[in-house]
Amino acid sequence: MGSKLRRGWPPLAVILLFLLAWQGVVMYGGIKPYLLPSPIQVIQEALSDKVWPRLVEHTLATAQRTLLGLFLGTAAGIVLSMLLHLLPGARRGLSPMLILSQNIPIIVLGPLLMIWLGFGELPKIVLIVLVCFFPITVAMMTGLRQSDPRLANYLAMIGAGRWTMFRRLELPGAVPYLFSGMKIAAAYSVTSAIVAEWLGAKSGLGYFIKLSASGFFTARVLAATGIIVLFSLLLYGLVAAAERWFVRWKPQGEGGGLQP
């Protein structure tokens, strides 16, 4: 715990300094609150009786969508990576198509999905899934192909077949890669949920931000943005915690990925 605090203080100090500077500029710079409210004003607005219940409601709606989309996207990503890995020729044939699919901006994909799937919950979830599966598929596919040749040779020598090789060597070896992909997907899932809500929804922080922005309630926009950031961090933390559990067999200090 002590070392965590020691490593954690520089970024915390920077954030604190940033908020202090922001507060100072607004207080002494004569900036109008509808252009840029101070951090304290943002918090006051968020906690006000008129705003707080709505923020909670919309946060829950966004969280629900994000988690469902991330879960389904992860599942889809894992299944797809396995198929691409196991079916001969599938990887070569489908990879270009997969990469192409990622070149369609989600701001375009959103309206298209609504045309095809209506205005309900489905197009929003599909959008999140489409955004999430890709980093997972790519990371997992890399992991499945990275198995240690010495271990593969050993298992082959004692008579392991293709399925044993996949289940006992390639799949467990790909788990650390899966988590790298999930960390990216976790961040994407929140962003794409917000975009989906922005494009057409009756709930969620994206919807709330759009509404607040058109009424120049800048403090509410910033309050919702703050919640989005905190939620993203929480999601990332959950994935990182799951990773530590599932990859506990790795020697200390070799845990991959970004440090939160």
Partner 1 sequence: MTEHALDIRNISKQFGGIPVLDNVSITVSEGEFVALLGPSGSGKSTLFQMIGGMMRPEAGNIMISGRQVTGERGHIAYMPQQASLLPWRTVAANVELALEIGGVPKAAARKETRQWLARVGLGEYADAYPHVLSGGMQQRVSFIRALLSPQRLMCLDEPFGALDALTRMQMQQWLLSIWEENRRSVLLVTHSIEEALLLSDRIVVLSAKPASVLEQIPVPFDRPRDERLWSTPLFNEMKEQIYELLKPANGAGGAGQA
Applying CB under 8 A, the residues found at the interface with partner 1 are 150-151, 153-160, 164, 168-169, 172-173, 175, 248-251
- We find the least distance from the C-beta atom of residue 247 to partner 1, in angstroms, to be 8
Task: Pick the closer one to partner 1 by CB: 72 or 247.
Answer: 247
Rounded to whole angstroms, the Cα distance separating 147 from 194 reads: 37
- We find the least distance from the C-beta atom of residue 2 to partner 1, in angstroms, to be 24
Q: What is the largest CA-CA distance in the chain?
A: 77
- Which element (helix H / strand E) includes 26? helix 2-29
- We find the least distance from the C-beta atom of residue 162 to partner 1, in angstroms, to be 12
Give the rounded distance of the alpha carbon of 188 from its chain centre.
4
Task: Pick the closer one to partner 1 by CB: 1 or 158.
Answer: 158
- We find the least distance from the C-beta atom of residue 250 to partner 1, in angstroms, to be 7
Task: Pick the closer one to partner 1 by CB: 43 or 160.
Answer: 160
- We find the least distance from the C-beta atom of residue 173 to partner 1, in angstroms, to be 7
Task: Pick the closer one to partner 1 by CB: 130 or 169.
Answer: 169
DSSP per residue, 94-118? HHHHHHHHTTS-HHHHHHHHHHHH-
Task: Pick the closer one to partner 1 by CB: 103 or 252.
Answer: 252
Cβ count within 10 A of residue 212? 21
204 in Cβ contact with 193 (< 8 Å)? yes
Rounded to 5 degrees, what are φ and ψ at 20? -60, -45
Contacts of 238 (CB under 8 A, 6+ apart): 186
Question: For the CA atoms of the chain, what is the radius of gyration?
Answer: 22
Task: Pick the closer one to partner 1 by CB: 3 or 252.
Answer: 252
- We find the least distance from the C-beta atom of residue 174 to partner 1, in angstroms, to be 11
204 in Cβ contact with 58 (< 8 Å)? yes
